[in-house]
Structure 1
């Protein structure tokens, strides 16, 4: 059954590396809780207590607003193939934006993705496993290419204009740091 650990171990890090999908959850002090599915080659485990996630342009920017206000973040993975397992990483995150002093160093951990908007740097204070026996078995076909294709048609200026129009405030009106 479930266990709580102070950090990731090798087995859990390998599990993360095999997953094509993860979820990010954040919440402001007041307002809506956000839980979003994420994919692509956008996640790196740097150490047992540190994960980077490269966030690309999307229709909203709730995570950035929430983290700017209170830093809490949970990442979750579910085994959709193989033995059942659910893994959650709890901690505090910060958003790193283009132009921040450590953007280039953190961005170097990733294969560049079109429309890269922020990097979230999560410091883990606890991980928790649970059985996952009710999670369905699903087959991975391929990553969707729609978002990358859309971002590749935009210039840097057009992406920045989109961020200004769509990504500067959360749905609750909180600033996102863009």
Structure 2
């Protein structure tokens, strides 16, 4: 297959080249045809509406990557329609790693994994933008009110869906819930994990990157 033809398939040119190199092209194209959508179908929208956690991959303008975790009550990631979803951003450690990357490079990769009920995952790739809370609520009046008393999102990340596809259940463990409550939005250092890894007392040597 010529490189000019590769742009018409989902995924990157690099993955298509390696599919040819390793002999997986037919299997990959079958997956693209049967499983990869450019929007969220009804089942995907319902699945996201049940989820309490999400992993978010971003990269800056140079391609330096970061991966983070977001969690909240079921439906904390709000599906606006089949092409758009959004999640709230709250006061955190002030680093702004994910949002900083998005400000340079809008491409994001999300994965929702249901460890408890369906034991399945959903990938969503797309282009993100940062929207302040007041503006977001003007654009999307039906946004839910935060269920934690007194807490309000500072801003939202809205994602235009470009790819959505299954992450198979093959290696997803089934987990069981701990009934212990969670301190949503706490600023208590101990309850947030404190200095769990002992980083504060670990000597640092900041070496410039090439």
Instruction: Give the TM interval when normalised to the shorter protein.
Output: 0.7 to 0.9
5 Å matches for 1:1-178? 3-30=35-62, 32-41=64-73, 42-59=76-93, 60-97=95-132, 102-105=135-138, 106=140, 109-112=143-146, 114=151, 116-141=153-178, 144-145=182-183, 147-150=184-187
Gap runs ≥5 in structure 1: 152-178
SS in 1 for 2:100: helix
CA contact (8 A) 1:43 1:54 kept: yes
Structure 1 or 2, whichever has the larger Rg, is 2
Q: State the partner residue of 2:5.
A: none
Which is bigger in relative contact order (C-alpha 8 A, separation at least 6)?
1
Q: State the partner residue of 1:163.
A: none
Q: With the length of structure 1 as denominator, give the TM-score of the two structures.
A: 0.72
Gap runs ≥5 in structure 2: 1-29, 189-210
After the TM superposition, which segments of 4 or more aligned residues of structure 1 sit over 4 Å from their partners? none
Tell me how far apart the structure 2 counterparts of residues 149 and 16 of structure 1 sit (CA, whole Å). 25
Tell me how far apart the structure 2 counterparts of residues 12 and 4 of structure 1 sit (CA, whole Å). 12
Tell me how far apart the structure 1 counterparts of residues 121 and 162 of structure 2 sit (CA, whole Å). 17
Tell me how far apart the structure 1 counterparts of residues 115 and 133 of structure 2 sit (CA, whole Å). 34
SS in 2 for 1:35: strand
CA contact (8 A) 2:119 2:173 kept: no
Q: How many residues align?
A: 148
The structure carrying a bigger strand percent of its residues is 1
CA contact (8 A) 2:137 2:143 kept: no
Deviates more, 1:42-51 or 1:90-99: 90-99
Superposed CA deviations along residues 124-175 of structure 1, whole A, max 9, x for unmatched, are: 0111212132111112336621x52329xxxxxxxxxxxxxxxxxxxxxxxx
